[in-house]
Amino acid sequence: MRIIFMGTSEFAVPSLKAIINNGHVLLGVVTQPDRPRGRGHKLQPTPIKDYAQPLGLPIMQFNKIKSQEAIEWFQALQPEVVVVVSYGQIIPAEIINLPEYGCINVHASLLPEYRGAAPIQRAIMDGKTNTGITTMYMNEGLDTGDIIMQTAIDIGINMTHGELEPILAEQGAELLIKTLQAIDRGDIERISQDDAQVSYASMIKPEDEILDWNQDSGSLHNRIRALSPQPGCYTIYAGEKLKIYKSRVISKDGVGTPGLITNATKDGFIIETGLGTIEILEVQKAGKKRMSARDFMNGGNIKPGVLLGC
């Protein structure tokens, strides 16, 4: 099939790779413009550009995908299918309605659950025990199009976003190829989304990163793993941010002093919460590298009796 691929993040790379490896005609790759990143704020290419450029694939980086330039570029190529995976801009109707076989999106949730920008993070933050991948026909709504195929995966109780995302990315690539094969055969059953089951996955905001020790231990643990490794949750210690990347729930009951470090363990340290206790396993002090919570304590940085968050 004649395909234009649109993607930006690391999540999209396996899908692009799968399209190439399965003999489709790739007319072009559309990704976001290079952005300043890192401490030096140097312009950095997207993961998709990093992958596509050495292969000599035609790459377009439109500042605005709704621009006339972008629309005319798509119209000139006349793709049979446009595949969108973690692209990052709203696709205009002129592009959605152009391909003969539609504009296909790979979304990291079991729609209609978790429509929106951060489905993996929000599913973990909500303590969900499973999630999955959906392929769907795009329309002008926010992840509202008809479902084509779905596949589910369990979320482990200690699994982080950084651990779950690459698994879902590979599943997304596999499901995309099955979807394209079914479209090519004319063997597609469109399934309307059930509006009664809709939930939303809003973009992660700076306030989501703050750990409020008055919450229960389970909610805090879910927040930590949902935002690990990026952007990372934090608490305040000695007037500075202390990022926390890994934890586990010790107990879900018992009321103590929220934010109080009660004792050291062989792996880290225990903190009392609004309900229950949580063990902190991996941290990062401002200006330092990530390290085990135990090493952080052994360095004399912190000790039992300290109250975090103030």
pLDDT along the chain (310 residues), means of 10: 98 99 97 87 94 97 98 98 98 98 98 98 98 98 98 98 99 99 95 98 97 98 99 96 98 94 96 98 95 92 90
CATH architecture of 2-201: 3-Layer(aba) Sandwich (3.40)
User: According to CATH, where is 3.10.25.10 located in the chain?
Assistant: 206-298
Q: Which residues lie across from 107 on neighbouring strands?
A: 134
The helix or strand, by DSSP H or E, that contains position 241, with its residue range, turns out to be: strand 240-251
Q: Which of 52, 2, 54 is nearest to 30 (CA)?
A: 52
**Confidence (pLDDT) at 40:** 76
User: According to CATH, where is 3.40.50.170 located in the chain?
Assistant: 2-201
**Confidence (pLDDT) at 42:** 87
The helix or strand, by DSSP H or E, that contains position 73, with its residue range, turns out to be: helix 68-77
Buried b (16+ CB within 10 A) or exposed e, 230-244: eebbbbebeeebbbb
CATH class of 206-298: alpha beta
Q: Are the CB atoms for 35 and 73 separated by under 8 Å? A: no
- If you ran DSSP here, which 8-state letter would residue 43 be given? E
CA-based radius of gyration for the chain:
22
- At residue 254, the 3 state secondary structure works out as coil
Note the pTM of the prediction, 2 decimals: 0.95
**Confidence (pLDDT) at 37:** 80
Q: Tokens 């084509």 map to which residue?
A: 148
